[in-house]
Amino acid sequence: MNPIQCLSISEIKTHTGASFANLDLYYQHFGLPLDEAPVVLINHSLTGDSDVAGHKGWWKELVGPEKTIDTNRYAILAFNIPGNGIEGQTLPNPEDFHTGDIADFFLKGLELLGISNLYALVGGSIGGGIAWEMAVLATKLTKYLIPIAADWKANDWILANTFLQKRILENSSNPLEDARIHAMLTYRTPKSFDHRFGRSRNEELGIFNIESWLLHHGRKLAERFHLDSYVLVNHLLASINIERDGKTASELISKIEAEIHLIAVDSDLFFTPEEDQQTFAMIKPNKDSIFYHELKSIHGHDAFLIENDAMEQILTPLFKNK
């Protein structure tokens, strides 16, 4: 059992000028002691949390004893995005924050833990966006930067979907359930649905199995997630953008000292692979240590949580052969 622990960050000020006397940053630690092993920080996705490798861990197939990211070899850290509902924590006024603020909180958390450098900084989806923001703020932080099914910006497609999500959250009589149903249509693909359901029916309910599956995911999220938390993380997703203060992505990424491994999903309808391909093409002429990997799957954005063998093949050279 890896208990949720808490760090108290003092004298917080966000990009909007909002001030807080302190902010609780909740986290979990897996594997070896932090001062005895290389540290891997894994940033969770939109409705995920810090339980990356526990009994119900969202990435337990890849993170654990003798697994790809081996807890017998590394110290694994995972912070919760402040306000994601863990330990009942929510934050007022989501507009006070953007992902750069969250990245700054995570960096302050590392400082409080006495960690000045990481072996790897990994993030999936919005967690990858936060990883990008961290690497820009602390260019010498990590040996490997590994954003997965993610990007350094919210492009117009992400902005459109988060806008619709916001409308659902504001106007639906079942906001969490309905927002989740819509979100699942962006996390998977038509081929994935056809492969799994094939127009089959749930005779007991008198509806198609795809409909009962979507209703199940809607109810499941509503049971475990707080509406205010979803409003916050949806806002944060739309706010991803390292290009602040007049600096370009090319300039900022080229200054990151880490070896960068972009991992895209060929069928991703959310953070599309074309975005990572463009980033790779933009940065490669000025930085040799950037690499592009593409996970092949019919399942779309969520493939990095489904295709464990394929993810293992991509990650093993970084975590097992070093």
Domain ranges, ordered by start, for the chain:
5-154+242-319, 157-236
Q: Mean pLDDT throughout 159-188?
A: 98
218, pLDDT greater than 90: yes
CATH 1.10.760.10 fits 5-154+242-319, yes or no: no
| CATH for 157-236, options being 3.40.50.1700, 1.10.10.10, 1.20.120.1200, 1.10.1740.110 | 1.10.1740.110
180, pLDDT greater than 90: yes
Q: Is 84 helix (H, G, I), strand (E, B) or coil?
A: coil
1's tokens: 């059992």
Whole-number Å distance between alpha carbons of 287 and 228: 41
Mean pLDDT is lowest, of 54-58, 152-156, 166-170, 251-255, for 54-58
54, pLDDT greater than 90: no
**Average of per-residue pLDDT values in the chain:** 97
Contact 148, 122 (CB under 8 A): yes
Cross-strand bridge partners of residue 273: none
pLDDT in tens, 294-316: 999 999 999 999 999 999 999 99
- Strands 19-31, 5-13: pairing is antiparallel
Q: Mean pLDDT throughout 64-83?
A: 97
How far apart, in Å, are the Cα atoms of 31 and each of 63, 93, 115, 248?
9, 36, 15, 37
Share of the chain above pLDDT 70, in %: 99
How far apart, in Å, are the Cα atoms of 156 and each of 61, 233, 240?
33, 17, 12
* Structural Rg of the chain based on CA atoms: 19
Q: Mean pLDDT throughout 261-281?
A: 98
78's tokens: 């995972």
Tell me what pLDDT residue 42 has: 98
Q: Mean pLDDT throughout 180-197?
A: 98
pLDDT tier at 40 (50, 70, 90 boundaries)?
Answer: very high
51's tokens: 């339980």
Write the single-letter amino acid at 18.
Answer: A
Tell me what pLDDT residue 221 has: 98
322, pLDDT greater than 70: no
Q: pTM for the full model?
A: 0.97
Tell me what pLDDT residue 1 has: 72
